[in-house]
Amino acid sequence: MNSITTDFIEITDVQYQSEYKLELTFNDGRKQVIDFEPFLRKSQHPEIQKYLDLKRFRQYTFEYGYFHWNNYDLSFSIDDLYDGQIT
């Protein structure tokens, strides 16, 4: 159990792992590896499916405790990321 307490959760680091996996580090010390591939493959929307292109997927932006793709073209809830459950 972490002894760090915070008033809010934010991402402090994002590291590309492999394929569609990113490791997120949160301000309470928690690390979460998230595989975005199932989400991307399940989506029928072409604006989401375009991120199946690994070159495009790897072009995320991390700033101010949040990360996203193409000016929030694709983004996820901090709570979902923290829990490792993206939908």
Would you state the pLDDT for residue 87? 80
Task: Kindly state whether residue 4 falls inside one of the protein's structural domains.
Answer: no
Would you state the pLDDT for residue 1? 45
- Give the list of residues 6+ apart from residue 4 with CB closer than 8 angstroms, or none: 27, 28, 29
Residue 38 is part of a domain; what is its CATH number? Answer: 3.30.2020.10
**Residue 66: which region, alpha, beta or left (left: phi > 0; alpha: psi -120 to 50)?**
beta
**Residue 70: which region, alpha, beta or left (left: phi > 0; alpha: psi -120 to 50)?**
left
Task: Kindly state whether residue 37 falls inside one of the protein's structural domains.
Answer: yes
The count of structural domains within the chain is 1
Task: Kindly state whether residue 2 falls inside one of the protein's structural domains.
Answer: no
Domain of 20, in residue numbers:
11-83
Would you state the pLDDT for residue 5? 58
Q: What is the mean pLDDT of each run of 10 residues along the chain (87 residues)?
A: 67 96 96 97 95 96 90 91 91
| CB contact at 8 A, 46 and 36 | no
Would you state the pLDDT for residue 4? 54
Would you state the pLDDT for residue 7? 82
Task: Kindly state whether residue 42 falls inside one of the protein's structural domains.
Answer: yes
Task: Kindly state whether residue 18 falls inside one of the protein's structural domains.
Answer: yes
